[in-house]
Structure 1
Amino acid sequence: MTAQASLSLLPLLTVFLLALLVLAWPLGALVAMVGEGAAPIRGLAWLHRAERALYRVAGVDTGKDTGWRSYAIALVLFNTLGTLFVYGVQRLQGVLPLNPQGLAAVSPDSSFNTAVSFVANTNWQGYAGEQTMSYLTQMVALAGQNFFSAATGMAVVFALIRGFAARSGKSIGNFWVDVTRSTLYVLLPLSLLFAVFLVGQGVIQNFAGYKDVALVDPVAYSVPKAGADGNPLQDSTGEPVMEQRTARTQTLPMGPVASQEAIKLLGTNGGGFFNANSAHPYENPTALSNFAQMIAIFLIPTALCFAFGRMVGDSRQGWAVLSAMTIVFVLATLFLVGAEQQAHPGLSALGVDQAAGALQSGGNMEGKETRFGIAASSLFAAVTTAASCGAVNAMHDSLMPLGGAMPLLLMQFGEVIFGGVGTGLYGMLVFAMLAVFIAGLMIGRTPEYLGKKIQAYEMKMMSLAILATPVLVLTGTAIAVTAPAGVAGIANPGAHGFSEVLYAFTSAANNNGSAFAGLSANTPFYNVMLAIAMWFGRFAVIVPVLAIAGSLARKQRLPASGGTMPTHGPLFVVLLIGVVVLVGVLNYVPALALGPVIEHVQLFTDR
């Protein structure tokens, strides 16, 4: 990393991590109480009354805990119904209210992709939000699923933690209670507070129609001139005849943005109201809002680590998991900023000055907001791909080859470096069990984690959970780069085009939602293929995790002995990091070599 990069990033990264810890620690205590079912929570008795009323209306028996199979069936049924609802709203939006722009129904394949995407907490967007979705669709269908998908992730991690904490039993909790409490006590209050903050920063929140405003400086531009038949005219050489036009007005989109922006970030969803996402000044207007948005993405995943320690009765366990996440995240961020601080050889060949100075941060500023610069843009890219969020404030397609490889790798680790709300922690706990299993083989002892023996059944379920996403990513990428319909969407031939396809399936299967964006993915082929990757990337992991929770709950919790491997110290943190990195490297190195690595070599040797 250059000295310029260090001076700009290190203070920002330090303040970011300190602020995150200060906010996440007390939130972790609240989340633990939510997961433990202690009610009413002190100071929130009025919410407890609302909670009981919801159960009465829905007919939920709060005293009935279930085994893992019933829990999984309820979860999948709930999310299937959510998918059908989101699909239906999109298909009917042309006749539904709160549509001041008169936007038509969304196409069947795009509706299917979007419905699966938002239910699976992926929020992949193959459409431009301000040109495709009505206010009702944005608020009721999309923002609603932002809450429910995040609550589903929290419910799963609560179930797994109960499996570790249980002394012996078959129950892992009640899905309907878990999803209700997660929404009511955590997601809704935080979203309300954060939305008010965003409005104060300048994020819009209204139901007005789009506004046509006069430009301060008219903009001249050229367009092909059309003939009487409507086709472009051509000159004698076959080139299109151009005519000059002048733009004197601009259409400014409106809408209830702050409310959706809040849960988009806090729920690690990522679906932006506008096509430009968090690069749009109406979604992310200031440096402070940019900083707060990054904090919001990591806030609940970090708090869940502290809640985990409290719920298993050993806060050191939560710190160990959080330490592993933080170390990998910091190293990845430093590498990413270092890559972006380099001058782009292609721009240098054109005589573009990329040196750091008073008016620019230096390095590769292509695709980045000048409001944020390289450090804040790169940190945001690392945050959003370390968590399964997908919100972006810069164009990832414009990252340097090795810079773009880092967001790819952060997702390919399994979205466990902080990860999504709930998903990051339960994914990391799966790797923690794998780590103690490997350590047990090395010393010839039955592996234990938190007093529970890790045996053959748990290993089978762990294998399914770990291998599901690589199979989806690599199989989907292979099909896309060989099928004519898949190749047709690649605008950039060669290694970068391959990276775009690899990124798309990596993002979909790992439920991230960000994109390189150079890929024309809003086609029936990609909408269906990516929807399949998103659905199974979500639920083919969740079901084995719930099976592990059920198996652990039935086991006696053994007391620690002299032969028990400590899972809260530096040695275990290093072992956990090694397992996460090794599994990610073994799965994806050949694919990364065909994409970002080859592109880097070509970029720096072909000049």
Structure 2
Amino acid sequence: MSTAAWLQLAVFMALLLALACPLAWAMDAVMAGRFALGRRLEAPLWRLAGVRPDEESGWLRYAQGLLVFNGLGLLAVYALQRLQAALPLNPQRMAAIAPDSAFNTAVSFVTNTNWQGYAGESSMSHLTQMLALTVQNFLSAATGIVVALALVRGFARHSAQGIGNVWVDLTRATLWLLLPLSLVLALVFAGQGVVQTLAPATTLQTLESEAPQTLAMGPVASQLAIKVLGTNGGGFFNANSAHPFENPTLASNWLQMLAVLLIPAALCLVFGRMVGDARQGWTILVTMSLLFVLCVVAATALEQQGNPLLTRWGVDQAASALQSGGNMEGKEARFGIATSALFAVITTAASCGAVIAMHDSFTPLGGMLPMALMQLGEVVFGGVGSGLYGMLLFAILAVFVAGLMIGRTPEYLGKKVEAHEMKLVSIAILVTPLLALLGTAVAVMTDAGRAGIQAPGPHGFSQVLYALSSAANNNGSAFAGLSANTPFYNTLLALVMWFGRFGVIVAVLALAGALAAKKRAPATEGTLPTHGPLFVALLAGVVLLVGLLNYVPALALGPVAEHLLLWPR
């Protein structure tokens, strides 16, 4: 990497950690009910809804509440899309969304995936963008947060039957965490030039043509704030964060990158505070940061190498002019390679899906890194909440592996990890690769699936594998060369997104209930320390081995094979 790229990465990590520490303190206070003003304002809401805030539930009732809550959200988002032609705030007279596309979008935003098979500015009315998509951005992010906190309570409590009150947790995560942060960030974005208006469009005279150009507009800043803070990723515009109305300045780009990882990083420290050992939270955060930095370095280096085919075709002079800094295909000149690679790693590490460059135009191995980050299970920071509970699953697996090595029952944070817990961990870890790989197999074996592939050979296979990996792990980014806005792909991806989200969540909540009911086991000389460099290395190794081994044959057929084709035989 260049000196500028190293400096950018160092400044980014320093700012992220500096912001995560105070946010973690505030989040812990808010979610534990120590925010006095919040408790007074919540009281009328509880009476109106008939909720008893002090009444906690077991894991099954907690899971049922989340499933009902998100199921109602799915119906609401679907209905608003289908009825938008007859609803107000539709200045461009958008037609109703097709049933299969509406179903896919509804599942996508409910599951925090935000996969978009449509162009938002030419498909969605302002009302749909605000009331359906933006609102669900808040609620899906809150769902991830409360599941992570429920699992942490399972570690922190002993001989307990309850893991929390789902309605209290969802309310506090939305009202006192996501909403205030999004309001402040939206105002900052608007100050940077991000569009925020109910006007339908503006007409400009360009320098390229005498004919005027019409540019779509709308309430962008308000959606952008929660899009990045909630690791949602769905953009108001089809070009997402590459659009100048959505990302007008270098400052707005930096704010978006920091906002994507801010809450996932802070949640690691909240975990340490809740279990009464700050070192545990820092261990998780350092592991995530280590894997993240390695991926940024690798992605940047691969993109700065350029495309060897230009040299192979005898166009050395053109190569030096077109890619003097590396592979600029699909990247904006105002961001460049280093920032584009950093953003790509951030968005796929954090289950966000926002993009400032076309991942489909990355070099084969450069594009494989974002794909592999998703296939790890979105645990390198990961989505809001989902990154933490995903990494904690790998932490349990790591102590289990260590226990097998020395022949004793593994323990993590004072809880013995036995057969029941390992079954739940195995289910939660294996759900997403099973969905991604089976979905890819179905797509490439059927005529309807192959019809969407535009690029022949390994790259076409990579496009399908990326799409299913993105859906199963609730990321939402894409190798956009795949024509996925068809009934086949809309249905297939929607099913994969739903079970990739809630199949893991149900298993995690069941694990939380099992851990909370356990007695705390005292530490002995044989207990594995779960903090410090040794456990960081063990945890990172387990994440890489277990997360990627499932996908090695598929990656060999796609990006690895494509990379080998770039070099003369």
The answer on 1:135 being equivalent to 2:126 is yes
* Other-structure match for 1:237: none
Shift of 1:495: 0.3
How far apart, CA to CA, are the structure 1 residues paired with 2:324 and 2:227? 29
The structure-2 alpha-carbon separation of the partners of 1:79 and 1:353, relative to structure 1 and needing over 3 Å to count, comes to farther
How far apart, CA to CA, are the structure 2 residues paired with 1:605 and 1:289? 42
- What is the percent sequence identity of the aligned residues? 64
How far apart, CA to CA, are the structure 2 residues paired with 1:513 and 1:347? 32
How far apart, CA to CA, are the structure 1 residues paired with 2:79 and 2:109? 13
- Aligned-partner SS, 2:445: coil
Shift of 1:52: 2.2
The structure-2 alpha-carbon separation of the partners of 1:303 and 1:353, relative to structure 1 and needing over 3 Å to count, comes to farther
1:413-432 aligned within 5 A = 413-432=376-395
2:306 and 2:323 in contact (8 A); partners too: no
Shift of 1:354: 7.0
How far apart, CA to CA, are the structure 2 residues paired with 1:287 and 1:354? 29
- Aligned-partner SS, 1:142: helix
1:139-218 aligned within 5 A = 139-218=130-209
The answer on 1:98 being equivalent to 2:74 is no
The structure-2 alpha-carbon separation of the partners of 1:501 and 1:350, relative to structure 1 and needing over 3 Å to count, comes to farther
The structure number with the bigger radius of gyration is 1
Q: Deviations over 1:479-524 (max 9, x none)?
A: 0011000000000010000000000000000000000100000000
- Aligned-partner SS, 1:11: helix
Shift of 1:61: 1.4
- The counterpart of 2:55, out of the listed 55, 64, 79, is 64
2:310 and 2:319 in contact (8 A); partners too: no
Shift of 1:54: 2.2
Q: Deviations over 1:410-446 (max 9, x none)?
A: 0000000000000000000000000001101111111
* Other-structure match for 1:351: 315
Which structure dedicates a bigger proportion of its chain to helix? 2
- Aligned-partner SS, 1:251: strand
The structure-2 alpha-carbon separation of the partners of 1:463 and 1:374, relative to structure 1 and needing over 3 Å to count, comes to same
1:501-580 aligned within 5 A = 501-580=464-543
Shift of 1:600: 0.2
Shift of 1:206: 0.3
- The counterpart of 2:461, out of the listed 483, 498, 509, is 498
1:361 and 1:374 in contact (8 A); partners too: no
1:143 and 1:263 in contact (8 A); partners too: yes
How far apart, CA to CA, are the structure 1 residues paired with 2:14 and 2:26? 19
* Other-structure match for 1:29: 25
2:436 and 2:469 in contact (8 A); partners too: yes
The answer on 1:453 being equivalent to 2:449 is no
Matched residue type, 2:3: L
- The counterpart of 1:597, out of the listed 560, 564, 568, is 560
The structure-2 alpha-carbon separation of the partners of 1:257 and 1:347, relative to structure 1 and needing over 3 Å to count, comes to farther
Q: Deviations over 1:138-189 (max 9, x none)?
A: 0010000000000000000110000000022110001111111001111001
How far apart, CA to CA, are the structure 1 residues paired with 2:349 and 2:334? 23
1:387 and 1:420 in contact (8 A); partners too: yes
Matched residue type, 1:119: V
* Other-structure match for 2:354: 391
The answer on 1:473 being equivalent to 2:469 is no
How far apart, CA to CA, are the structure 2 residues paired with 1:165 and 1:466? 22
Q: Deviations over 1:248-297 (max 9, x none)?
A: 11111110000000000000000000000000001111111111101000
- Aligned-partner SS, 2:213: strand
How far apart, CA to CA, are the structure 2 residues paired with 1:291 and 1:213? 28
Matched residue type, 1:575: L
Shift of 1:27: 0.3
Q: Deviations over 1:540-576 (max 9, x none)?
A: 0000000000000001122322221100111111000
How far apart, CA to CA, are the structure 1 residues paired with 2:179 and 2:261? 17
How far apart, CA to CA, are the structure 2 residues paired with 1:508 and 1:361? 35
1:354 and 1:363 in contact (8 A); partners too: no
Matched residue type, 1:112: F
1:195 and 1:261 in contact (8 A); partners too: yes
- The counterpart of 2:284, out of the listed 321, 328, 348, is 321
How far apart, CA to CA, are the structure 2 residues paired with 1:523 and 1:481? 15
Matched residue type, 1:402: L
1:253-268 aligned within 5 A = 253-268=216-231
Which runs of no fewer than 5 residues in structure 1 stay unpaired? 219-246
- Aligned-partner SS, 1:212: strand
The answer on 1:336 being equivalent to 2:299 is yes
How far apart, CA to CA, are the structure 2 residues paired with 1:54 and 1:402? 51
Q: Deviations over 1:96-149 (max 9, x none)?
A: 111100000000000000000000000000000000001000001000000000
Shift of 1:7: 1.5
Shift of 1:9: 1.1
How far apart, CA to CA, are the structure 2 residues paired with 1:492 and 1:346? 17
Q: Deviations over 1:190-233 (max 9, x none)?
A: 10111011111110000012122222231xxxxxxxxxxxxxxx
1:257 and 1:273 in contact (8 A); partners too: yes
- Aligned-partner SS, 2:4: helix
1:343 and 1:354 in contact (8 A); partners too: no
Shift of 1:53: 2.5
- The counterpart of 2:270, out of the listed 301, 304, 307, is 307
Q: Deviations over 1:383-423 (max 9, x none)?
A: 00000000000000000000000001000000000000000
Shift of 1:59: 1.8
1:354 and 1:362 in contact (8 A); partners too: no
How far apart, CA to CA, are the structure 2 residues paired with 1:387 and 1:322? 13
- Aligned-partner SS, 1:207: coil
Instruction: Indicate the RMSD between aligned Cα atoms, in angstroms.
Output: 1.4
The structure-2 alpha-carbon separation of the partners of 1:564 and 1:196, relative to structure 1 and needing over 3 Å to count, comes to same
- Aligned-partner SS, 1:389: coil
Shift of 1:355: 6.7
